[in-house]
Structure 1
Amino acid sequence: MNILFSFLPKPEQQANLIERFPHVKFYFQKPFDEETLRNAEVFVTYGEDINASHLEAADRLKWIMVASAGLEKMPLKEIASRNILVTNVRGIHKIPMAESILAHILSIKKSLPIIAQNQRNSIWSKKVYSSELYGSTALILGPGAIGGEVGRILQAFGVHTIGCNRSGEPSDFMDDMTSFSELKRALPKADFVISILPSTVETKNLLTNEHFHCMKPTAIFMNFGRGDVVKEEVLLQALQNNYIAYAVLDVFESEPLKEDHPFWKMENVVVSPHVSSHSSQYIVRALDIFTENLTKWLDEDPSLINVIDLERGY
């Protein structure tokens, strides 16, 4: 069996794979050689470097392991037509992303940006208007693995959590649940609206101008899922018209964010360059999932984890 990686794990991680699976031929190439892909049965990728033309040539390909959660840049229709199995690393982002989200919330609520600015300007001022998380409400769009971890931590701070998904069915660490169709009724209750939604047909442009009208003028909107959940002009208008107080953005419709974009200069916007999931443990956790699935694959065990529904895109 030939397995092609289009990114480079650390040398010791590569060696561990080779030692653990001696009957497998591993290729680690960045950028990858198309001839190697043509002969590969398994392709391990971040999901941004494979297109439909690659699939036409890779006639031996049976399984694509995506070392990220997002699949929106992949040719899913063509993959589905070939009946190629796709799995991803859903779940490994929950710790670093939950920590990042909490860090931003605490930073704003405890006025850390103002304190840091005062330090740079040598200003001793106690006029910092900090507030507590205790007793507030967070509406979490996408209460899956990441959203559940965010909910668990926020509940420890005394925050009431409301989860929102397509069906409204219960999710872990959510005090209440709502559905996409009932979202407008829940928004007026939320002090934090946190989107961790993937990019799918159902979530693209889910949030409209009407949704931001429903939010508290003191609300903080946070997007750590995908940038296309809301059109940037809609969000910009909501901030400029004070429909909401603050936005923390780790993802954008177009990345990198253009140098002349208004978000860079706005005092009530935090621009985070899609780094919330970064962690020294990222590849370690991704390879743990891969090795578990590869063991099952070689044993012809169909119960692989994180198998993607290619019609839904998640």
Structure 2
Amino acid sequence: MKPYVYITRKLPEALVKPLQEKFNVNMWEHDDIPVPRDVLLEEAKKANALFTVLADSIDDQVLTAGNHLKVVANLAVGFNNIDLETASKKGIAVCNTPDVLTDTTADLAFALLMAAARRMIEAAEFVKEGKWLAWNPFLMAGTDIHHKTLGIVGMGRIGETVAKRATGFDMNTLYYNRTRKPEAEKQLGVQYSSFDELVEKSDFIVCLTPLTHETKNLFTREVFQKMKPSAIFINVSRGAVVDEQALQEALEAGEIAGAGLDVFQKEPISSDHPLVKLPNVVALPHIGSSSVETRTAMIQLCIENIIAVLEEKEPKTLVNKDWRPLVKGLK
């Protein structure tokens, strides 16, 4: 029998065709409703491969639901939604989609910074609501971006690409990272900084760090209070790196000037979310890598990884490096 692949979101048929030509493929029928837990568990019992998204919890229960699963291909760079330890013990390869979304996510991060700084969303709504009755010198006045200090927390590929964009705005860029990046310092003119120094000196703080035990709730009320009152905080990493209550309080108290958020602790959020109600917050629905070109490339990479593992070959972007297949013949 052909291997069985289950896809947890509805994808364009044309993109799924390479899988359908080789395997039995089933796909959740909705693109705007998450696959229910009971359906996911039932599919995991019989699947040889799971094509997942970041919102799917691929925990011990899912990974041990059946005895056939060989690969989980996650449509994201992040993989904090997957129990890697269990996957490795079960001989299940976990794959992600790095590199192909770097430029697109960096574009979004910088666009979010600009939108928050220049009050673009607020100004657009001002016009649409018929409130533009006259011109005055400080109508919807925001803050300049050029020649300001940018602080990047998490200097991976996306962080370096954001820093590259900042050079076009003549910004002074600081960065904080687990490891220092001498080559990036040389090529981009960025400066390594302690976390506290970055927080205190930056006019814009862009968070791009992965979610780990160390970075969970990294941004607390105390951290926001150390920022400049004119600072704008941008988060394009994971919602859980921020204490959202602390951010709300800091914004309401005027301890920082604004925020641009593409991610939240629990997604999706509603229009009643406290942060969404604040006029100095630009909120987006987790669209960091959401361009047609990039999402297509991400899907194709997931498919390539699934095909490789099911054909007993090495996947392109393996996350759990300690993975060893429980079947022989991997090339």
3-state SS, counterpart of residue 265 of structure 2: coil
Cα 1:9–1:42 change in 2 (3 A) is same
Cα 1:102–1:188 change in 2 (3 A) is same
Indicate the residue corresponding to 2:328 in structure 1. none
Partner AA of 1:13 in structure 2: L
Cα 1:34–1:106 change in 2 (3 A) is closer
% of aligned pairs identical? 28
Partner AA of 2:13 in structure 1: P
Cα 1:227–1:287 change in 2 (3 A) is closer
3-state SS, counterpart of residue 282 of structure 2: strand
How far does residue 84 in structure 1 lie from its aligned partner after superposition?
Answer: 1.9
Give yes or no for the alignment of 1:276 onto 2:274.
no
> Quick check: 286-295 or 150-159, which moved more?
286-295
CA contact (8 A) 2:97 2:301 kept: yes
1:94-134 deviation digits (Å, cap 9, x = unpaired): 33332222223323444434543553213221423354322
Q: In the alignment, which of 179, 187, 190 is matched to residue 176 of structure 1? A: 190
1:39, 1:55 → 2: CA distance? 11
CA contact (8 A) 2:73 2:306 kept: no
1:166-212 deviation digits (Å, cap 9, x = unpaired): 22344746533547xx2002222211101122221111011223322
Partner AA of 2:65 in structure 1: A
Q: In the alignment, which of 83, 92, 105 is matched to residue 84 of structure 1? A: 92
How far does residue 143 in structure 1 lie from its aligned partner after superposition?
Answer: 2.1
Written as runs of structure 1 = structure 2, the 5 A alignment for 1:64-103 is: 64-103=72-111
Cα 1:291–1:256 change in 2 (3 A) is closer
3-state SS, counterpart of residue 150 of structure 2: strand
Cα 1:240–1:216 change in 2 (3 A) is same
Cα 1:268–1:131 change in 2 (3 A) is closer
How far does residue 297 in structure 1 lie from its aligned partner after superposition?
Answer: 3.9
Cα 1:69–1:171 change in 2 (3 A) is farther
2:310, 2:274 → 1: CA distance? 52
1:21-47 deviation digits (Å, cap 9, x = unpaired): xxx313132156766543433222115
Cα 1:110–1:49 change in 2 (3 A) is closer
Normalising by structure 1, we get a TM-score of 0.83
CA contact (8 A) 2:49 2:306 kept: no
Written as runs of structure 1 = structure 2, the 5 A alignment for 1:106-125 is: 106-113=114-121, 115-119=123-127, 120-125=130-135
Give yes or no for the alignment of 1:229 onto 2:241.
yes
Give yes or no for the alignment of 1:254 onto 2:256.
no
1:240-290 deviation digits (Å, cap 9, x = unpaired): 232211111121222233554332322222222323332223441123323
Indicate the residue corresponding to 1:45 in structure 2. 52
CA contact (8 A) 2:121 2:282 kept: no
3-state SS, counterpart of residue 15 of structure 2: helix
Partner AA of 2:6 in structure 1: F
CA contact (8 A) 1:118 1:124 kept: no
1:33, 1:227 → 2: CA distance? 24
CA contact (8 A) 1:251 1:274 kept: yes
Cα 1:282–1:219 change in 2 (3 A) is same
Note the residue ranges of structure 1 that are not aligned, 5 or more in a row.
none
Count how many residue pairs are aligned between Structure 1 and Structure 2.
Answer: 305
Indicate the residue corresponding to 1:213 in structure 2. 225
1:106, 1:211 → 2: CA distance? 22
Cα 1:243–1:310 change in 2 (3 A) is farther
Written as runs of structure 1 = structure 2, the 5 A alignment for 1:194-205 is: 194-205=206-217
Partner AA of 2:24 in structure 1: F
CA contact (8 A) 1:168 1:177 kept: no
Normalising by structure 2, we get a TM-score of 0.79
CA contact (8 A) 1:89 1:306 kept: no
Note the residue ranges of structure 2 that are not aligned, 5 or more in a row.
29-34, 324-331
Indicate the residue corresponding to 1:127 in structure 2. 137
Give yes or no for the alignment of 1:15 onto 2:22.
no
CA contact (8 A) 2:203 2:232 kept: yes
3-state SS, counterpart of residue 174 of structure 2: strand
Partner AA of 2:45 in structure 1: R
